Amino acid sequence: MTDIRKKTFTVNRLQKNLRRETGRAIADFKMIEEGDVVMVCLSGGKDSYVMLDILQNMQKHAPIKFELVAVNMDQKQPGFPEHVLPAYLDSIGVKYHILERDTYSIVMEKTQPGKSYCGLCSRLRRGNLYSLAEKIGASKIALGHHRNDIMETLFLNMFFGGKLKTMPPKLLSDDKKHIVIRPLAYCKEEEIAKFAELKNFPIIPCNLCGTQENMQRQEIKKMLNEWGRKFPGRLDVLFKSITNVAPSHLADTSLFDFHSLEKQREDAKEQAVAESSKDSDRINVVSIWNN
């Protein structure tokens, strides 16, 4: 097999896998419906490029009709190549908007030395994107977070936030105005990265959070990657656990009514007695007729 044929085969295989997992997530969480205007948020990173590519591919064959609108937020980071994304989006014929907001200066001013930029940066970005979504009539806002992001966030919240939560595949915003979807929720980062490399997307590295290699998320990522290398299949089981939650076997009293267990036990006893009485009556009737 020639190098070109091998590359084509690999690209097609990866695209098939990513499309299958994306389609499964969309179906499981009813992410996209007939007539939706999906605002696809592009950062210039591998994940959002792949998300747009897969959604475009699915749009051609989907049994429903929906519109894709690509959006990039130019946060005015020094050296940001602002021509790259417009040129790429023009080349593939996608409708798009470039939102210019200088959030970079705010993040640099407000973040204390040694602290992560990501929290404030994401809040500022999210607020601006929500406003644009309302302006253009987008019914869904698509973000490029994948399976690994979801698992990393789970451990970040457990280890550093004392909460058992992560990024949901589908989310209603706090103001109840916007629905955020993560179509790549079931997709593995390694497959996304390989597909992006083979497709030669014009990746734009983040010069903000990308410079903070020792931050908590990076440490969690290293831990999970090490688990994946040492124990093949462990991450698959871990992700499955996020979709298979048993509130009665955790300790959150707001999710499960532990206070009523005694009453449930008594109710069960009464139910058992009643059922036993019915069985006894039924046996007596049968006995009469048999005689």
Which pLDDT belongs to residue 113?
73
Which pLDDT belongs to residue 208?
55
Check whether residue 126 and residue 182 sit in a common domain.
yes
Check whether residue 271 and residue 152 sit in a common domain.
no
Q: What is the pLDDT of residues 33-83, one digit of tens each?
A: 999 999 999 999 999 999 999 999 999 989 999 999 999 988 878 888 889
Check whether residue 156 and residue 280 sit in a common domain.
no
The predicted model scores a pTM of 0.86
Does residue 289 carry a pLDDT above 60? Answer: no
b/e map of 189-202 (b: 16 or more CB within 10 Å)?
Answer: bebbbbbbeeeebe
Check whether residue 125 and residue 84 sit in a common domain.
yes
Helix axes 3-29, 189-199, angle to 10 degrees: 130
Check whether residue 197 and residue 53 sit in a common domain.
yes
Residue 253 lies in a domain: no
Residue 250 lies in a domain: no
According to DSSP, the residues that pair with 74 across neighbouring strands are 100
Structural domain harbouring 270: 258-290
Q: What is the pLDDT of residues 194-211, one digit of tens each?
A: 999 999 999 998 765 555
Which pLDDT belongs to residue 101?
79
Confidence of residue 280 (pLDDT cuts 50, 70, 90): low
* Separation of alpha carbons 228 and 26, rounded Å: 26
Which CATH number belongs to the domain containing residue 194 in this structure?
3.40.50.620
Check whether residue 21 and residue 119 sit in a common domain.
yes
Does residue 282 carry a pLDDT above 90? Answer: no
Q: Is 71 left (phi over 0), alpha (psi -120 to 50) or beta?
A: beta
Check whether residue 189 and residue 129 sit in a common domain.
yes
Number of domains in the chain: 2
Residue 44 lies in a domain: yes
Confidence of residue 284 (pLDDT cuts 50, 70, 90): low
User: Residue 78 has which token pair?
Assistant: 């020094």
Does residue 1 carry a pLDDT above 70? Answer: no
Residue 46 lies in a domain: yes
User: Residue 18 has which token pair?
Assistant: 């990513």
Check whether residue 155 and residue 276 sit in a common domain.
no
Check whether residue 273 and residue 232 sit in a common domain.
no
b/e map of 244-274 (b: 16 or more CB within 10 Å)?
Answer: eeeeeeeeeeeeeeeeeeeeeeeeeeeeeee
DSSP 8-state code for residue 28:
H
Residue 285 lies in a domain: yes
Q: What is the pLDDT of residues 8-43, one digit of tens each?
A: 999 999 999 999 999 999 999 999 999 999 999 999
Q: What is the pLDDT of residues 118-150, one digit of tens each?
A: 776 777 788 889 999 999 999 999 999 999 999
Which pLDDT belongs to residue 64?
94
Residue 92 lies in a domain: yes
Residue 56 lies in a domain: yes
Q: Which residue has the tokens 């991450």?
A: 235
Check whether residue 237 and residue 264 sit in a common domain.
no
Check whether residue 141 and residue 276 sit in a common domain.
no
Residue type, 237: V
Check whether residue 192 and residue 286 sit in a common domain.
no
Residue 251 lies in a domain: no
